[in-house]
Structure 1
Amino acid sequence: MQQWRLKPFLFGVMVLTISFFLLLMTMATYFSVSYFFTKQKSDARIEVLNSNQLKLNERLGDMEGTALSISTHRLTKELLENTDSPDLYEYLKLQRDVTEWLDTFTYIKPFITSIQIYTDRFVQYEKYGQVGKNRILPMSKIPWKEDMRRFEDVGAQWIPSHGDDYYSDSNAKPTVLTYVLSIYDRKGSVIGYVAVNLLEDSLTRLFFSETKESSPTNRSLMLLDSSGRLMSGMSAQVNAQLINAFQSAIGGIDKPSYGYQPTNVAGSNYLMIYTAQSENHWRLVEFLETKDIYRDTNIIRNIMLLIGTVVLLLVFPVASYLSSRIIRPVPLLLRGFQQIENGNFEANMGKYFIVEFNKLIHGFNKMALELERMIEELEHKNRLKRDLELKVLQSQINPHFLYNTLDMINWAAAMKGNTEISVMVTRLARLFRISLSGGGTFIRLQEELEHARLYAQIQQTRMEDKFVYREQIDPLLKSCYVPKIILQPFIENCIVHGFGDFQEEKAEVSVCAEKMGDHIKITIIDNGAGLEQQRSKSPLHVSGTSGYGIRNIRDRLELYLGSNYKLVISNADARGVKVEMVLPYYDSLEEIKHIAT
């Protein structure tokens, strides 16, 4: 192991510690400022986007209102609901009248490039082709047929940006967003569609101003519908070629509220800012290059690094001086600690001429005395605790005198021919003999079951046919060892508290055991009143210490097994009380002694 001298070690630790905290403070400042600038910029841009979204809602609402007014207009109804088949002249006249009427909308609202009405009422004239600027077109001319399936669920929809094939200038094909509205007859059946084309460039002029401050040259806007489908992409001059690449980042928006998040597109970092979905479920998403956002942050970072470098250079002489001053009393303290490690708490150090170190030495001397006092006090308390626990547990179950007395009573009853008393006394004597168990704390489960059975037989003799005791034990488990006298107190508790006047059927207590891995589970169930309805005394009860015995069981299990046991007392499923004990499975007393040591 590498050995270090105290002074260079302290010097290195101080330099590294100060450098670490300096670096940590620089990074914390940088990231805090970055977060502040990002949030400030994002909040400002979200305000701008919200303003743009209001303009967008107004524009889209205008478009939808135009389509609705056309679909419900008298001329449209007469045109599509009239069942008479017009001749060619009437058809051409209808085309001219409708075209002139629809053109008034494009004149009034220049952001509308064209309007079409699609219907199959005049399909017989499709063979003549387009005559002038046809506004009434057959269904087969619909350019957005792949979106027609959406009309199964809705009566109107917006079509993403595409070229306007029916623009008045055949040489130009502007990009438009189309709003399509179903036209219904009086029976509610669809008889046609009206399509209003919104010039996408009008939205660009609406959202992008001429100044860099209000409309940065590196921004891009994406218009999404309620399903997250890209409806339109508008980009400033710098990002025009990346408009398709931005679509992959849109999938990261998974919440309806507004927000922002960093993203990487085509190897460059961008900040994606998005608004909340509006009432008509439209959303604006903006992409800004982060290099412009973090320009001021990088300047602050460089200033912090410069300050940190200067401070770091000053750390070296300061650390050298402090390390030299600190180590002067350290050897004395080390010798004092070595004496304490060796058990000598009488180590006492002399005064030092430096006030701070003198206080440190005084504290060391006081600590040594306090440690000696606390250790002596703790050892004394532990001895008292162990002695008291053993005395209390021994005094709680000490049936030697009772066993000898019962043996004398048994002989006297047998000599006088009173067999019933002799049997009961024999059982009680056997019960006490098991409880003695040679002074051991663990006995076999077979003996513990015999102890509980003897107590139950004594109670059955006293109560005649009012009490039934049952056992359901795997014979292979009877050879394992358990703490003694852990069943009888619970059986006594069932008789004392569980059975009352309302008990019509026989009082019944059953004991079963099963192995669970390295543990054994013992269950005691009665058919009494249960925990909430137990009475303080049962008619079957004469006298006893059931509550005292149960507390004794908990204390002994805690003393013998520590935390390696489980004791749960609860109401049974039907009625009565269920006691569940999970104990370690011990095959021999040697195993118990080995674990105890």
Structure 2
Amino acid sequence: MNKNFIIERFEQVTFKNRIISIFLFGSLVPFICLGFVSFYTIDSILGNKVESAIKSNLKQDISTLENALNNLNHVSQQLAFGGINKQIEDLQQVLEPYDRIQLLTEIKSELNIISFSNPNVGLIMYYYPETDLHELENFNIRGHFSPKELPIMAKYPEITYYGPHKSYNGSINQYVFSTMRKVNLPDQNVYLYIETGRNALQTLFAPQNRKVDSRRLLILDNDGRVAFSEDAKDFPENELFPGSSNTEVTSGEYNQFFWSKETSNQGWSIVSITPMKELNQERNQWLVKTTLFFILFSIVAVFSAWVLWKMVYKPLGKFNTEIKSLIVSPSKEHTGLTDIPEFDFLLHQIRSMKGQIWELYSEIEEKEKRRADLEVEKLLYQINPHFLMNTLDTVHWLAVFSGHDKIDKLVLSLNKLLSYNLGKMGEVTTIGDEVQALKEYLQLQQIRYDFQFDVDIDVDENAMALLIPRFILQPLVENALYHGVSDDGYIHVDIKSNDGLDIKIQDNGAGMSEETIDRLLNDESKENQKVGMGIGMRYVKSILHANYGGEARLEIKSEIGKGTIVSVRIPLSGGDIPS
């Protein structure tokens, strides 16, 4: 039902709307498909490009930070387990001011040597947690030093790493990383505190020094908590990061942010967070441009479809005019063209066909007039034969009453033959009726001619009821009598039906030459149109062609002095026999 409904609705669509719809469908659908493919391709390329850039930056950041922390670890090991520990231990036991000052000078000199030899190392000092005091710092301290307030990034038994925080160095104002390690002194509880240097992480975690971009950084400790956040509103410190539950996932989306994570060998992680709207900015710009281009393309496609319809509509109007003039009048001649070669050629063909149709119409009118005249003439010619038949019927009864049996027989045969032959030439009859009329004809001819001849008629019983056109056998037998049958002449009529109807007329007469055969079948001259001179043979040929076309066959084979064979082949089915 739905399919039929769609077909019916489509059939009601005008030609104009069909052209526009098909044109728009053929032009816009590929463009839309190409747009979708391009969009997903561009989106994938941009996504991979941004994600690759973020991961690349993260790997560079984590490498920089690991190097800085490794440097802090190396320096802290050197100081915590080095020869300077003996001097620090002695410092706690020296009471003389002079000796104490001299020892402090030596320790600071050692610290300065280490500090200058490691430019990525900043503030260095020793911290005593029991008294909350510090000493031996190589730079002035800003404010009160409190390790408990520092953000722990990673904590191990021998060392603790602190995430980005304001430096305690009074000479700089930037974010630094730091580490605290217990000094190897058996009888004292002392910790070594070291910060990264002024330029160690200049472009990394110090927002006031780093290049301005859209990303923000997070530092996660070993447990996945946020130790440092550049976006405390959406990712507050000391809370678990959303992507920490699955350590295998290194990127994702959260709260309108795209995040990417890199984990260090020490267990802490760096996370880059970027707003999704900034990531999609380039894609959205491409989408807007594509939409505008699609609208422009649609307008052009609609205009092109309208122009195409106009190009087709104009020739159709001319065709309509030509067809109307075709059925109205042949006199008005149209010479306008469409300026399109293909349509102009069709117009020329239509106009040529128009002329031929009206010529044919005039010829048919003339033939109809002639046919009417022939019908009148035919009626006039039929008057005399009917009068003759009535007269013969009167002679028949006079011969019966007078006892002239031979005359009665002759008149009766002639009357029957005339009655059969006066039927419509070419109308349908049976083989049986045709054979009976042939016998009447032969009886008359045997009385007419002064020589004796025999006729043998052999017909299959199953062929007697077959239909053939009227007046086929008599002209063929008449041809045999006319061309050379004399005393002791013999004519054999053989009619058989197999897959077709085969009629064979054979005589033992004088025979005919090839020229005579050709004249009988093909010569249309007036001299050869006399009765008995081939008109019957041409009639048979014409009637066979009219009813069977090329499926029927008429052949004549003859030899001088040996006789003639006329063969007719008629198909059992097909043809156009009038009923």
| Normalised TM-score (structure 1) | 0.37
Q: TM-score, normalised by structure 2?
A: 0.38
- Structure label with greater radius of gyration: 2
